[in-house]
Amino acid sequence: MSRLAIAEQSLTLHFSRPEKVLGILRDLDMPLDRVVSAEPLRESWWRVVRGWRLGFSLPRVRLLGTWRWRGHRQLVDLRRGQPALRLTLREGSPHDEVLVSSPQAEDLLVQLRRAGVAGL
């Protein structure tokens, strides 16, 4: 199971070895100033993810990988039944958005707000 952590001025998304293989992913480590906004993903997440997939998909159950469409890239790690966050990243970042499920989504959102990340 992946872990999203916020420490100092850095955001880290660490994937387990099976997740890296299935999702064709690497761990993500970036400065917090690359995050433009953060919000809870309240709508059905399977409607938010669009485009061509590079990774693993069990529709409406588990999505893991990179989705691309029209120059837009989403890093996706979503699980049914868990709260999720949508992080919008600055231009020049490897992805435009990070969509991630986490049991601690609300706590992470509070930490991001304290670090100065805006909401939508």
Name the phi and psi angles at 19, rounded to 5.
Answer: -65, -40
> Letter for the amino acid at 105?
A
Residue 120 has pLDDT above 60, yes or no: no
Are the C-beta atoms of 55 and 25 separated by less than 8 Å? Answer: yes
Q: What angle do CA 110, 91, 72 make, to 5 degrees?
A: 95
Dist. CA 40–CA 89, nearest whole Å: 15
> Mean pLDDT of all residues in the chain?
92
**What residues does each domain of the chain span?**
33-114
Dist. CA 23–CA 26, nearest whole Å: 9
| Lookup result for tokens 């958005």 | 97
pLDDT tens by residue, 6-57? 988 899 999 999 999 999 999 999 999 999 999 999 878 878 998 999 999 9
Q: What pTM was estimated for this model as a whole?
A: 0.92
